[in-house]
Amino acid sequence: MPPNEYHDTIELISKAENNTLQIPKHKHTRTGSSSSFIHFRAPLNEESQPMANPNQLASQALPSLIICIIGLTAAGWMMDIYQHWEVFTQVSELFILVPVLLNLKGNLEMNLAARFSTSANMGQLDHPDTRNALVWGNMALIQVQALVSGSIAGIFSLLLGLLLHPDETVTISNIILVISSSMVAASVSSFVLGLFMCILIIISRILKIDPDNIACPMASSLGDVVTLAILAGCANLLLDKTVSNLGSWLLFIMFSSIPFFGLAVWRNTHVRGLLFTGWTPIVIAMLISSGAGLVLERYVEQYQGLAMLTPILCGLAGNLGSIYASRISTCLHKGVQEQFRRVEWILLSMNVPIQSLFLAIVWFIDIGHLDLSLAFAITYFIVSVISTLAALKMGKSMTLAFWKYKYDPDNYVLPYLTAIIDVICTSLLVISFSWLTATGYAHLHEPI
């Protein structure tokens, strides 16, 4: 790193700690190692201005976070139904596939949301030619990522199934069903959600709404519901068509389409650098999230309501941290200021009414069979606040750190952030359930 850029970065980190971010404008173009830094040049004649008023953050982000909670609850309700379907009882690897695939897909869509939000705030979407190139380039890119990630998720779930259940025999038809269902669900949902996110961010830009405040939660919540529905439907169809070659043909078509979309990405200068880079955080995040899945599998049958509360707690904390990281990344790209302390307090305070609304709904319609005592509510809120605070602090430090080492935060931070938060939230929730049960403040043991 050249000396002048090194000192600029140190000054950036120092001022960030003092809650004021002032990014120096360089006359050269920042590039990442392996050319993975998809950049936009900040206008040289534009004075550095503060980020959009943080007071607008709550009004813009709150509706999307409420939709996120509804989406996460709907995904849990859908999984409660799908687990009784014949295909899930016959092909147990699908239970392992669901969290792995949802984690991988969620990271792809949140990365797209963060990347495209930065493009919008940089003014790149204001020009039709650039906007069209960015839309089609990102759509082709997410197809490549979804197809590769879908195959990785399918193979990983099969291998994990062999390790967890070595006595069970895995047939060729089951292997084809799992991998093809995973790739089809990843590809189709990525197309639907990718197009939706692009349109949402373009409309937000037209209406002068900061997409950093709304895009990531929408991508996270809708992604789980759409992907889960397509996965269950495709797997059920392939089970009915076991005697035919439908699964094999789908697998062939999915793998054959990867070079086609890869060529489209390669020809697009806006996203070419991401074709062979950015895979490491996605795969590592999958491995980290598997730790949360193992913790959940170990205790889900021991405590009532754990399976329902875990995605809500992890999802909300992860989305609040993702909003913060996305905003900081946009600041870094634009060369503007972010008011760290105020934004952190706004995001942290938004956690309380959303969790209160969720617990009120749980109490009113009596789902999850929870013992909603006062001690339980207080403990849950403490865990929620700790998780959200951890997400915010990690989102800030990780974004600044990746930028310092010339990696675009839009492509690297969110997978690591959400995966680590999944482990933290799941572990804290299990500890709180154990403490409440041991002290007698709440009765959360599953009936034997």
27 vs 29: CA distance, rounded Å: 7
- Give the pLDDT confidence score for residue 102 in this predicted structure: 81
108-126 pLDDT, tens per residue? Answer: 888 888 888 888 888 888 8
* CA 272 centroid distance within chain: 22
Burial of 200 (C-beta count, 10 Å sphere; 0-12/13-18/19+): buried
- Give the pLDDT confidence score for residue 444 in this predicted structure: 66
Q: Which residue has the higher pLDDT, 150 or 444?
A: 150
173 vs 150: CA distance, rounded Å: 17
198 vs 437: CA distance, rounded Å: 46
Among 377, 397, 389, residue whose Cα is nearest residue 421: 389
Where residue 5 falls among pLDDT bands split at 50, 70, 90? very low
pTM (predicted TM-score): 0.78
Highest mean pLDDT pick, 15-24, 56-65, 299-308: 56-65
